[in-house]
Amino acid sequence: MQVKSLVPDSTLSMNRSPNTIRLPLLITGVAGVAGYNAFRYFSAKYPGQVIATRRADNWPLSGEDIVGCDADNEEQLARLFDQHQFRSVLNSEGSCKLKSCELDPAMAWRVNVQSVENLLNVIGNADVRLVHSSIDLVFSGTGDGRHLEDDPTDPVTVYGRTMAHSEQLILERKPDACVLRISLPMGVSFNGHAGAIDWIQSRFQKSKPATLYFDEVRSPTYTDCMSPLYESVLRHDLVGLFHAGGPRHLSLYQIGQIVNRIGGYDPNLLIGCYRGEAGPIPPRAGNVSMDSSKLAAALGQSPFAPWPLFDEHVPQEGDWHYARPPGQPGSPEYLAEVLYSRPIPAESPK
């Protein structure tokens, strides 16, 4: 699939006047790392004015203002809108499980595309601010990365194809919406295993190996930076398609090195390989790193700190994670301080 942006650059502007968020706010996809952290951020700032949705069968995820609602069920979604009269929507709904999407394309289409179509149908012509999270995996990553917004999409996975299709649905049907392509959101999850850090760390904690790719490159971001970005975009009239990836581009293997060393885990548990050496399902993208300078220009500043923040925490070679400098043994507690959360810049790495 190769799709060019349907929104001309002339419409991609932002009104920098001091607007307020249109409340109440609906956040879909609270089970994901980006949605979960956004819900915690917004519900703390606007108590009683933020509702989050999860899949109806995801009963372990519960709490005040979290509602079970399948967005691919238009009737359920319409009832929720009738009840709360939402004026803003942050749409983070979707299934990002690559293998599950490959094995069940109908499910992927239902959750990643039909849910967006239903949301657009329910919103209709109402004056509702819509911000939609897409993904860097709409690209194959066959080139040198640093993708721009007008690069044609060419996903290698069912997940990527459904997400690219959803982008175009929104750009066609609601041109006053904003679509943000994100990468790997780095923050806590509701169940402790929904995010990239979660999965890698869980393998090491169980003394199990984690195999990660040398040649899949992403643009990770702290959710501590992503949530304020969502707020800024919801406040203003930023419209169209924007890349929202962090400024530090890392391979999955490098991310594994960081988690391993900062967490103080056995370095022998990290295994690296190239995508071509892996199994056929799911297919893996290559260098899908994104250039987010267009977003920074629209905002007047870059919204993202590098992940990880400290240069000392960035691998310099393939065996970097084996080195444990004196006084820097690493620990899960320190990992939580500097990888799950954006640390205070004045802090010194341990």
Q: pTM higher than 0.95, yes or no?
A: no
The domain ranges of the chain are: 9-194+221-243, 250-340
3-state SS assignment for residue 8: coil
Among 350, 255, 257, 266, smallest CA distance to 306 is for 255
pLDDT of residue 347 exceeding 60: no
Q: Which tokens sit at 164?
A: 């690219």
Instruction: Say how far apart CA 335 and CA 219 lie, in whole Å.
Output: 19
pLDDT of residue 1 exceeding 50: no
Q: How far is CA 236 from CA 18, 199, 209, 330, 338, in A?
A: 8, 35, 45, 41, 30
pLDDT of residue 174 exceeding 50: yes
Mean pLDDT, to the nearest integer, of 241-257? 98
pLDDT of residue 27 exceeding 60: yes
Domain 9-194+221-243 has CATH 3.40.50.720: yes
pLDDT of residue 330 exceeding 90: yes
* pLDDT of the residue at 192: 77
Instruction: Say how far apart CA 160 and CA 174 lie, in whole Å.
Output: 21
pLDDT of residue 7 exceeding 70: no
pLDDT of residue 9 exceeding 70: no
List, in order, residues 6 or more apart from 126 with CB less than 8 Å away: none
44-82 pLDDT tens trace: 999 999 999 998 888 788 889 999 999 999 999 999 999
277-292 pLDDT tens trace: 988 889 999 999 999 9
Decide: 273 and 211 in contact? Cβ < 8 Å: yes
79-105 pLDDT tens trace: 999 999 999 999 999 988 899 999 999
pLDDT confidence tier of residue 210, bands split at 50, 70 and 90: very high
* pLDDT of the residue at 16: 41
pLDDT confidence tier of residue 4, bands split at 50, 70 and 90: very low
* Sign of the CA dihedral running 185, 191, 197, 199: negative
Q: Which tokens sit at 110?
A: 């239902």
